[in-house]
Chains A and B, each alone.
Chain A
Amino acid sequence: GIQVEQSPPDLILQEGANSTLRCNFSDSVNNLQWFHQNPWGQLINLFYIPSGTKQNGRLSATTVATERYSLLYISSSQTTDSGVYFCAVVGNYGGSQGNLIFGKGTKLSVKP
């Protein structure tokens, strides 16, 4: 099946700093999503981004499907950005169809 790798596994930032989180995937996909899991455990859908670039406030994401990676940018980080960021992909053939497969996440801690 598809492998999803995220880096870095842990990231500590000072409030106001910028960061880039990376997601690599091993095979062709027809969907890629970024999620944020807040400290209370709730999973929040950030971006649906199978290709191209999207922006939502201080967050933006870029997926280069042909090179099998996606990047999540966080600018001017705030303490409320803390939590775990997950990348998830959906395969487009065989046993991966319909599966939403997650990476292990990047744990972000933003210090005041």
Chain B
Amino acid sequence: NAGVTQTPKFRVLKTGQSMTLLCAQDMNHEYMYWYRQDPGMGLRLIHYSVGEGTTAKGEVPDGYNVSRLKKQNFLLGLESAAPSQTSVYFCASSDPGRNWGYFGPGTRLLVL
């Protein structure tokens, strides 16, 4: 079991560029999440999904889009990157009613 994997691990973007972060899990979990972590702010939920084909907004969804076309994958897109999106992005998956919150290693994104 690889658990939760994230691609890429690190990326530098220029303002206005677009990119997609990929999250994959091999635990057959229904729920998947994207968080961002900024100094002093803890982890804030961007978007989440409670099953294949579903997505919902979290606390800070603006500037991001997501898709869950396959149960094992959850994609996070930045259409036009801004310096305020410089952060560490974590993906997580959960098995409802049991142990929640298996996290990927994170993606460090720097927007110049």
Q: How large is the interface on A (under 10, 10 to 19, 20 to 34, 35 or more residues)?
A: 20 to 34
Does B43 contact A98, Cβ atoms closer than 8 Å?
A: no
In angstroms, Cα B50 to Cα A42, docked, is 24
Chain B: residues with Cβ within 8 Å of the partner, total of: 27
Does A105 reach chain B (CB closer than 8 Å)?
Answer: yes
Q: Which residues of B contact A31 (CB under 8 A)?
A: 100
Query: B4-42, CB under 8 A of A: which get 1 and which 0?
Result: 000000000000000000000000000101010000111
Does A108 reach chain B (CB closer than 8 Å)?
Answer: no
Does A86 contact B98, Cβ atoms closer than 8 Å?
A: no
Q: Given the known inter-chain contacts A41-B106, A48-B98, A88-B101, please indicate yes or no for A104 contacting B31, CB distance below 8 A.
A: no
The B-contacting residues of A in range 69-112, CB under 8 angstroms, are 86, 88, 90, 97-105
Does A63 reach chain B (CB closer than 8 Å)?
Answer: no
Q: Report which B residues bind A (CB closer than 8 A).
A: 31, 33, 35, 40-45, 48, 50, 56, 58-59, 88, 90, 92, 94, 96, 98-103, 105-106
User: A31-B100, A86-B42 provided; 18 other pairs, C-beta below 8 A?
Assistant: A41-B88, A41-B106, A42-B103, A42-B106, A45-B102, A45-B103, A48-B100, A90-B100, A99-B45, A99-B58, A100-B45, A100-B92, A100-B94, A100-B101, A101-B59, A102-B45, A104-B40, A104-B42
